[in-house]
Amino acid sequence: MRDMLADVRALVECESPSDDLVAVARSAEVVAELGTGILGVAPERIDGIHLRWRLGADPSRVLLLGHHDTVWPIGTLADLPYSIDGGILRGPGCFDMKTGLVMAFHAAAGLDGVTLLVTGDEEIGSLTSRELIEQEARGASAALVLEASADGGALKCERKGTSIYEVRIVGRAAHAGLEPERGVNATVELAHQVLAVSALADGATTVTPTVAHAGTTTNTVPAEATFAVDVRAGTPAEQDRVDRAMRALRPVLPGAVLEVTGGPNRPPLDASASASLYARACRIAADGGRPVPGRAAVGGASDGNFTAGVGTPTLDGLGAVGGGAHAADEHVVIAEIPPRTALLRTLVSQLVGQP
């Protein structure tokens, strides 16, 4: 246990915000060194920030998938340092998902027929790693994702698909005091469009306007505005419905122009993709005298959406038990790390046919 906690600390104390390529590349070096020490083989480094280990001489049958980038900016450690208190481990990225990486390394050590892929851009949409993930998944009989668990240690058996859009509004500038009537107010058009986009939500499908920008100075009719839209949908049909509606948006103000970019980013992870693997994990837990993990459907997406999307059986949420992802109270329950790692190792061993 002491070694695993030291490994987690090494990863947590190397800050790796996704949008800082220098920091993520530095983190990749730390992850590579740590993984090489545990697995006994060095990884292939791809695009500077992604790492791939091929374990053993046998053809790969199981894909272990994780990421080392986080949402936390450089300097977060000064306010939220790595710490252990009362059986709880804290630190930026410990739950999402650096503890999961350590678990994957220890679970896979000595096994054949396993590919371990650790990417560096998951938190910003996996723009450079998606093709790599899908390629590896197509060649595997199962994908096991080391994202953190759902509440109470539940495995993530369903995930909504995600779509990401940006709506750009072009108006016309004018002096706000002398002749505002000569302008086309992009902020007002933005307000109309935000309400129209919000109305696209339906039942379990969420459509959420998020970051918005408009205008330049307080005495100028804004000539341009933008806002981002986050969509979560449980089925491809719902993703398509929202996509068609987003592209059908039309301006309300005369003279305003709309431009909609983006679209579906991750397909849904359907329950059918995880059913057989979840059942196997439950049997392993029961046979070992451990509590059977629960199952959860979550709105958040992961790279497991991609593996399921190409038809590979996928089980997600096999990583750390804790909470507070992306929040100041991010934490991991230390006592859950060994049994969770043992469950993962047995699951991988069975899948590759190695006792």
Q: Is the dihedral of CA 35, 6, 100, 127 positive or negative?
A: negative
Per-residue pLDDT band at 173 (split at 50, 70, 90): very high
**Domain match, 48 and 72 both:** yes
**Domain match, 221 and 248 both:** yes
Task: Say which CATH number the domain at 126 has.
Answer: 3.40.630.10
pLDDT given for residue 57 in this prediction: 87
Q: How far apart are CA 103 and CA 105, in angstroms?
A: 6
Of 266, 286, 303, the domain-final residue: 266
pLDDT digits (tens, 9 = 90+) for 48-57: 999 999 999 8
pLDDT given for residue 2 in this prediction: 56
**Domain match, 8 and 42 both:** yes
- Cα–Cα distances in Å, from 254 out to 198, 203, 258, 261, 333? 22, 33, 12, 22, 57
**CB-count burial class (<10 Å; 0-12, 13-18, 19+) for 288:** exposed
DSSP 67-112: E--BSPPTTHHHHS--EEETTEEESTTIIIIIHHHHHHHHHHTT-S
pLDDT given for residue 141 in this prediction: 97
Task: Say which CATH number the domain at 165 has.
Answer: 3.30.70.360
Per-residue pLDDT band at 7 (split at 50, 70, 90): very high
**Domain match, 155 and 174 both:** no
**Domain match, 24 and 94 both:** yes
Residue 210 pLDDT greater than 60, yes or no: yes
Which residue in the list 7, 69, 96, 303 is annotated as catalytic? 69
Is 240 annotated in the active site? no
**Domain match, 156 and 175 both:** no
Of 207, 238, 266, the domain-final residue: 266
Of 218, 248, 266, the domain-final residue: 266
Give the domain range for residue 181. 161-266
**Domain match, 9 and 126 both:** yes
Is 134 annotated in the active site? no
Residue 277 pLDDT greater than 60, yes or no: yes
**Domain match, 18 and 41 both:** yes
pLDDT given for residue 13 in this prediction: 98
Residues whose CB falls within 8 Å of the CB of residue 199, separated by 6 or more in sequence, listed in order: none
- Cα–Cα distances in Å, from 155 out to 141, 152, 310, 327, 329? 19, 9, 20, 21, 21
pLDDT digits (tens, 9 = 90+) for 20-68: 999 999 999 999 999 999 999 999 999 999 999 999 988 899 999 999 9
Residue 293 pLDDT greater than 70, yes or no: yes
pLDDT given for residue 355 in this prediction: 72
Number of domains in the chain: 2
**Domain match, 194 and 58 both:** no
Give mean pLDDT, residues 108-118.
97
Average pLDDT over all residues of the chain = 96
- Helix axis angle for 337-351 and 99-108, nearest 10°, is 50
Residue 243 pLDDT greater than 90, yes or no: yes
Residues whose CB falls within 8 Å of the CB of residue 151, separated by 6 or more in sequence, listed in order: 296, 323
Q: In this prediction, what percent of the chain has a pLDDT beyond 70?
A: 99
Per-residue pLDDT band at 212 (split at 50, 70, 90): very high
**Domain match, 126 and 227 both:** no
Residue 180 pLDDT greater than 80, yes or no: yes
Phi, psi of 17, rounded to the nearest 5 degrees: -65, 135
Which residue in the list 96, 122, 238, 303 is annotated as catalytic? 122
